Amino acid sequence: MSEQIENNFMYHAPKEGQPEKYTAIREKAKELAYLIEETCPNSREKSVAFTNLETAVMWANASIARN
């Protein structure tokens, strides 16, 4: 477990090919964000959808960085 803690709380400098993966994930998430903006009425649910989309991008990027 301590190995995982160390990995999770350290700086992970981008390795070759990773920045392109981060960009691809952000671009697809942006497409979905615009779709949500255009099709969903302003509401708490819409705000939660945006928050969770941002969370998904963050964790996807963490997956790339940490592994």
Q: Are 64 and 21 in contact (CB under 8 A)?
A: yes
pLDDT digits 0-9 by tens, 6-49 = 999 999 999 999 999 999 999 999 999 999 999 999 999 999 99
pTM here is 0.89
Cα separation of 44 and 32, whole Å? 17
Q: What is the pLDDT of residue 21?
A: 98
